[in-house]
Chains A and B, each alone.
Chain A
Amino acid sequence: GAGVSQSPRYKVAKRGQDVALRCDPISGHVSLFWYQQALGQGPEFLTYFQNEAQLDKSGLPSDRFFAERPEGSVSTLKIQRTQQEDSAVYLCASSPRRSEHTGELFFGEGSRLTVL
């Protein structure tokens, strides 16, 4: 596709439910990032993939958060036993390998998670 696609755009979960958020990066983009954006805050780094390898997961807030990118394209962020503090917009971004776009991220529109 032309841009980064995320689904669902909106998700309401009851506390304790598991959720899965999907990201389709721009075709050919090697790098994929997940960010969490709480209301009124800037995006906070969660995890990074280069192809299928998860090279950095230092931002995942707890072991309830899990991300995968098994074939180096689509990625899924899974949150188990959701808590109210997990309510946020989850942003996916991709980046090409080439240095001309060094550090530039292409963002999807985000998945807004509300935990009741």
Chain B
Amino acid sequence: AQSVTQLGSHVSVSEGALVLLRCNYSSSVPPYLFWYVQYPNQGLQLLLKYTTGATLVKGINGFEAEFKKSETSFHLTKPSAHMSDAAEYFCAVSSSGGYQKVTFGTGTKLQVIP
């Protein structure tokens, strides 16, 4: 079984401030981890992913996330928020075997204040 917990359904940051969105996962096998972004009335788009190798992964639009096995975490960060970052962000997990069914968290809506 696998699951994802996202802490904070809403996060507000000032433009230019650090963005930190928290994600903890549970998986019985080595996980693959993802962050997806969803803009209003659009489908989900992959921001970044961790499968194996380097635990710090970089994605699009300046986002990065670090896989910490000891903390079962995969927090998403961006050094400086931009207005265009306002969206909903979903953390997701899949297993390293089988057909890789992807399980999503409940999402964190990011508001960027000018």
Contact = CB atoms under 8 A, between A and B. Distances in A.
Interface string B77-114: 00000000000001000101001111111110000000
Name the residue among A93, A95, A104 with the largest chain B CB count within 10 angstroms: A104
A45 B102 contact: yes
Interface string B42-60: 1111100101000000000
Categorize the interface residue count of chain A: 20 to 34
Report whether over half of chain B's contact residues are helix, strand or loop; otherwise say mixed. loop
A41 B107 contact: yes
Interface of A: 4, 31, 33, 35, 40-45, 48, 50, 55-56, 91, 93, 95, 102-110
Interface of B: 9, 32, 34, 36, 41-46, 49, 51, 90, 94, 96, 99-107
Given A95-B100, A107-B36, 12 more contacts: A40-B9, A43-B90, A45-B101, A48-B101, A56-B101, A102-B94, A102-B100, A103-B34, A103-B94, A104-B46, A105-B46, A108-B43
